[in-house]
Chains A and B, each alone.
Chain A
Amino acid sequence: MEDHYSTAYRGTRDFTQQNVHTANATGFGAAADDYAERGIDLNEQLIRNKPATFFLRVNGSAMIGAGIFNGDVVIVDRSLSAVNGKVIIAVLNGEMLIRRYEEQQKKVRLVPATKHLAAIDIDPSAEFFVWGVVTYVIHQP
């Protein structure tokens, strides 16, 4: 039975019982030894598909209403499809933009989260494609 090669992050998956430091404590072993687990790994939680995941930095306030601020880092997954309501990285006429994707009855719009910018209706003939879908935002308060 061949193991399927998965592109999920493996990270600290290789934690074994040898890694439990207190197991060899020279004093008293801890009752906690039996419950020792590897720690929480952000890579594992936030990166579902490593080869398709990229980090981009947000410039400006186009999506401030969505809680995405200037200087934040967004985690972008290129293997996900754009779905109505998702924040995506779009490429329109060669320019990369971070906007919310809206699709109503085959009509596509790119919507900012600020009143200072207008929504963009995507003409079917326009040079448009989805670069990736934003999965998480890293913000330093």
Chain B
Amino acid sequence: MKAIVDCNSFYCSCERVFRPELMRHPVVVLSNNDGCIISRTDEAKQLGVHMTGPYFLAKKLIEENNVAVFSSNYNLYGDMSRRVMDILKESAGERNVEVYSVDEAFLTIDNLSSQNLKIFAEGMRDKVQQWTGVQVSVGMARTKTLAKLANRIAKKNKTVSQCVSILDTDEMLIPALKQTPVGDLWGVGARYADKLNSLGLCTAWDLRNISEEWARIHLGGVVGVRLVKELRGEEAIMMKDELDTKKMIATTRMFGHTVTELKDLKEAVASYAGRAAEKLRRQKSAVNIISVFLVSHEKVDGPKFKHGPTVSAYNILHQPTALTPDLIKPAMILTEQLFEQGKKYKKAGVILSGLVPDSSIQGNLFSNERNSGRFLMDMVDNINFSMRDDVVKFAASGTKRDWKMRRDFQSPRYTTRWDELYRVS
């Protein structure tokens, strides 16, 4: 049996652990730069707050209804996520847990009777709630796709389901398939759903009853066959499918306020280049193409604002590299090339492409710097990683970052900072 355990309104849930007075209160969490709503509680949903909508559009609704607003506190969420995953591993066995995202995990549960499956699911739900304060929903069925379907049903009406839905018998499964539109299935996007609907396949039940051959021909080959198989209870999506290493690494950010000075722009780009380089080294790759892009601010027209034109330029390096200084240098040159006096910049980014594995960096017989450079970078990375803050920065990145993201509603990092602990009276 496969189970998917996922946290209800995860980011909001984390905030609520330390704000118990918000248990039944509408809450939202905002994305980087307080731009969009990336998490909302059921109460906020009922008020009409849209997911992924921009914050400024929902501001009036939020203020009128006294919705609690938080800027994203990734340190907290990451830490809480680790706790939840640890508990799942303790319950189901480490090798039976596949962490799928920050708030979801697939589990493999074998050798339990139908009755015990329910007890197990409820036990896990209660344990996570008790030990961390985070509320989860559990969906269980024979395949991942069906487990996801079950989970959706559990979430739809939490009072009835108590956040658990187990579809292990046809008696439970068939009505569930009949009431699930194809668009709600895992892996089926809006366009694919439209295609399926046009072929007369509207519910998961319709889809499950077509032949594999038909699916192969009409539903996009292997993708369609996999979906149909999974709906029939045959596993077609294996656990821990290998993740492709990235082919491109980008670090892009919107600025907290417009930037007009070249030196501030260069500082920002240098820090993004540093971040991108860190990600590069983490996956043991090197690059030889670096590109920088800048987005300027267009004239504001009433309540709307527009992204201005994006300008970009790239540089092909002589040798693939993963060293931060080797990437900052060309990034600075590119920034200078692109900068125009008088423009107000809103966003910038660094994109590294042409990734090659680290080991393919050819030794340059005539240069001694390579080896010590890499050793130094590894040390810098380790220090930064363990200190959780960019303690060691390169001079070009500046020491005072005025252009940093807006985070007006940030809660303390209760579980990762000794000096930000919750104060209880």
Known: A78-B130, A79-B130. A51 touches B86 (CB 8 A): yes
Restricting to B81-131, which residues have a CB under 8 Å from any CB of A?
Answer: 82-84, 86-87, 89-90, 93-95, 130-131
Residues from chain A with a CB closer than 8 A to the CB of B89 are 5
Q: Say yes or no for A22: interface residue by CB 8 A criterion.
A: no
Q: Are A51 and B421 neighbours in the complex by a CB distance under 8 Å?
A: no
Q: Say yes or no for B333: interface residue by CB 8 A criterion.
A: no
**Of A59, A74, A78, which is within 8 A of B425 by CB?**
A59
Known: A55-B421, A56-B422, A94-B21. A6 touches B90 (CB 8 A): yes
Q: Are A59 and B423 neighbours in the complex by a CB distance under 8 Å?
A: yes
CB distance from A53 to the nearest CB of B (A): 9
Q: Say yes or no for A89: interface residue by CB 8 A criterion.
A: yes
CB distance from A114 to the nearest CB of B (A): 12
Proximity string of chain B (1-35) to chain A, C-beta cutoff 8 Å, 1 when within and 0 when not: 00000000000000000001111000000000000
Q: Say yes or no for A52: interface residue by CB 8 A criterion.
A: yes
Q: Say yes or no for A24: interface residue by CB 8 A criterion.
A: no
- Looking at B83, B86, B424, which has the most chain A CB atoms within 10 Å of its CB? B424
Q: Are B84 and A51 neighbours in the complex by a CB distance under 8 Å?
A: yes
Residues from chain B with a CB closer than 8 A to the CB of A78 are 130-133
Q: Say yes or no for B258: interface residue by CB 8 A criterion.
A: no
Q: Are A51 and B133 neighbours in the complex by a CB distance under 8 Å?
A: no
CA distance A52 to B86 in the complex (A): 10
Known: A78-B133, A79-B130, A95-B21. A5 touches B425 (CB 8 A): no
Residues from chain A with a CB closer than 8 A to the CB of B251 are none
Q: Say yes or no for A20: interface residue by CB 8 A criterion.
A: no
Q: Say yes or no for A7: interface residue by CB 8 A criterion.
A: yes
Q: Say yes or no for B415: interface residue by CB 8 A criterion.
A: yes
Proximity string of chain B (329-371) to chain A, C-beta cutoff 8 Å, 1 when within and 0 when not: 0000000000000000000000000000000000000000000
**Of A50, A55, A91, A98, which is within 8 A of B86 by CB?**
A50
Residues from chain B with a CB closer than 8 A to the CB of A89 are 424
* A130 nearest in chain B by CB position: B130
CA distance A92 to B133 in the complex (A): 16
Residues from chain A with a CB closer than 8 A to the CB of B84 are 51
Q: Are A7 and B90 neighbours in the complex by a CB distance under 8 Å?
A: yes
Q: Are B132 and A51 neighbours in the complex by a CB distance under 8 Å?
A: yes
Restricting to B390-425, which residues have a CB under 8 Å from any CB of A?
Answer: 414-415, 418, 421-425
CA distance A94 to B86 in the complex (A): 28
B interface, over-half SS:
helix
**Of A6, A52, A57, which is within 8 A of B422 by CB?**
A57
Q: Are B93 and A2 neighbours in the complex by a CB distance under 8 Å?
A: yes
A interface, over-half SS:
mixed
Q: Are B20 and A131 neighbours in the complex by a CB distance under 8 Å?
A: yes
CB distance from A87 to the nearest CB of B (A): 11
Residues from chain B with a CB closer than 8 A to the CB of A95 are 20-21
Counting chain B residues whose Cβ lies within 8 A of the other chain, the interface size class is 20 to 34
Q: Are A54 and B94 neighbours in the complex by a CB distance under 8 Å?
A: no
Residues from chain B with a CB closer than 8 A to the CB of A96 are 20, 422, 424-425
**Of B20, B87, B95, which is within 8 A of A94 by CB?**
B20
CB distance from A84 to the nearest CB of B (A): 19
CA distance A93 to B21 in the complex (A): 7
Residues from chain A with a CB closer than 8 A to the CB of B418 are 55
Known: A5-B90, A94-B23. A73 touches B131 (CB 8 A): no
CA distance A7 to B132 in the complex (A): 13
Residues from chain A with a CB closer than 8 A to the CB of B86 are 5, 7, 50-51
CB distance from B361 to the nearest CB of A (A): 31
* A51 nearest in chain B by CB position: B83
Residues from chain B with a CB closer than 8 A to the CB of A98 are 424-425
CB distance from B162 to the nearest CB of A (A): 17
Known: A5-B93, A94-B21, A96-B20. A49 touches B131 (CB 8 A): yes
Residues from chain A with a CB closer than 8 A to the CB of B82 are 51
CB distance from A71 to the nearest CB of B (A): 10
Restricting to A33-89, which residues have a CB under 8 Å from any CB of B?
Answer: 49-52, 54-60, 62, 73-74, 78-79, 89
Restricting to B123-152, which residues have a CB under 8 Å from any CB of A?
Answer: 130-133
CB distance from B337 to the nearest CB of A (A): 50
CB distance from A82 to the nearest CB of B (A): 12
Q: Are B131 and A56 neighbours in the complex by a CB distance under 8 Å?
A: no
Known: A78-B132, A79-B130, A95-B21. A51 touches B423 (CB 8 A): no
Restricting to B257-277, which residues have a CB under 8 Å from any CB of A?
Answer: none
Residues from chain A with a CB closer than 8 A to the CB of B131 are 49, 51-52, 78-79
Q: Are B87 and A91 neighbours in the complex by a CB distance under 8 Å?
A: no
Residues from chain A with a CB closer than 8 A to the CB of B421 are 55-57, 73
Shortest beta-carbon contacts, A-B, top 3: A94-B21, A51-B83, A52-B131
8 extra interchain contacts, Cβ-Cβ under 8 A, other than A51-B84, A52-B130, A96-B422? A2-B93, A4-B90, A50-B86, A56-B424, A57-B421, A74-B424, A95-B21, A131-B20
5 sampled A-B residue pairs with Cβ under 8 A: A6-B90, A7-B86, A51-B86, A58-B425, A97-B424
Chain A contact residues, CB within 8 Å of chain B: 2-7, 49-52, 54-60, 62, 73-74, 78-79, 89, 91, 93-98, 131
